[in-house]
Amino acid sequence: MKRRCIILDHLEGREAAALMVDGQLDDLLIEGDAPAPGTIYRARADRPVKGQGGMFLTTPDGSAFLRQVRGLAPGQLLLVQVTGYAEPGKAIPVTQKLLFKSRYAIITPDAPGLNLSRSIRDEAERDRLLEIAHDTLGDASYGLILRSSCAGANEDEIADDIARMAGLAQDVLRDTGGETETLLDGDGPHLLAWRDWTDPAEIITESEGFAVHGVLDAIDLARGTAEPLPGGGRMFIEPTRALIAVDVNTGPDTSLAAGIKANLACARALPRALRLRGLGGQITLDLAPMPKKDRRGFETALRAAFRSDSEETALVGWTPLGHYELQRKRGRTPLAQSVSR
């Protein structure tokens, strides 16, 4: 069984949380300057952008951009939620589809119905969870998603979580006012660690925990462009203004299978490497040379690696030049902007 440690600390005065798995940094959350995803505003519609099918909004934290706008007039007030981090100089990305997310439950006011995580397959467990949900929500019109962390969890803890999120949703939706306002702040790193890193782990809150447990050294490595791969290869991850370029190098291996081995290692390591660096947007992979017949195996490995990743990533496919493209949600502040050391 893998040893997991969740370390709660601060980094350069910012709240931070690190997940270590068998001594390797697997995930890292650092408080940023921009509004955190999950923040909810009462915003005012400002001006439409017909060519992009969206609307610029005014919020207490600056300009926001809402896509797929219909029936919204300038000056109208509406509730929106931050979905990710914007590139420097761009508007905050927001949506009208509000989510109230916690460790066990996600309340979906705009999507009625009760859903359970697909990873919970035991019928008896599903029946238990459905009974808890019905008893807690009653006739409430809100939608509810029970997360995978509910499996085997204490009944009272699940019920309390559902009730707390439903109450929070009710408070936000019933809040009325005539001015732009921040109605709910997004979760910080320590709360996100409790919410999303739900597998059993040792919790470490001691002073200088990052230094003692090797997190600072791992951060120094992640701030560079080179990421070592098993077998001696390396991949270089270099953000540009337009996209993120990833170059795969086979290293000292000169065998006929060197290319596919390095590319498979890249597929398995890429989600973690992007996660630690907080990178998203358009990503182009310049892979090591390999026969076209091996592409399917690479795609399978890449799909499996991203399946358990925390950020939404679309595997777009191959270009005419043989590069592989991805589109990844900008759900975090880039590490280079969060850490100066």
Domain boundaries, the chain: 4-31+191-212, 40-97, 100-176, 223-338
CATH code 2.40.50.140 for 40-97: yes
Q: Please tell me the predicted confidence (pLDDT) of residue 25.
A: 95
With 80 as the cut, is the pLDDT of residue 233 above it? Answer: yes
3-state helix, strand, coil in the chain (%, to 5): 30, 30, 40
pLDDT band at 329; cut points 50, 70, 90: very high
Measured distance CA(338)–CA(278) in Å, rounded: 9
- Report CA 157 to chain centroid distance, whole Å: 24
**Residue 329: how many CB atoms within 10 A of its CB?**
17
Q: Please tell me the predicted confidence (pLDDT) of residue 98.
A: 96
Q: Give percent above pLDDT 90 in the chain.
A: 80
Measured distance CA(267)–CA(300) in Å, rounded: 9
218-222 contacts at long range (C-beta below 8 A, 24 or more positions apart): 218/18, 218/24, 218/25, 218/276, 219/11, 219/25, 219/28, 219/276, 219/335, 219/339, 219/341, 220/341, 222/25, 222/28, 222/273, 222/276, 222/277, 222/335
Q: Please tell me the predicted confidence (pLDDT) of residue 68.
A: 80
Mean pLDDT of the chain: 93
Measured distance CA(236)–CA(224) in Å, rounded: 9
CB 325 within 8 A of CB 284: yes
Alpha helices in the chain (DSSP H): 123-137, 155-174, 189-196, 209-212, 215-222, 258-277, 295-307, 335-338
The one-character DSSP state at 52 is G
pLDDT in tens, 24-70: 999 999 998 889 999 999 999 999 987 777 999 999 999 999 998 88
pLDDT band at 341; cut points 50, 70, 90: low
Fold of 223-338: Aminopeptidase (3.40.630)
Amino acid letter for position 27 = D
- When pLDDT is averaged across residues 222-233 and rounded to a whole number, the result is 93
pLDDT in tens, 261-314: 999 999 999 999 999 999 999 999 999 999 999 999 999 999 999 998 989 999
Q: Which two tokens stand for residue 92?
A: 């905050």
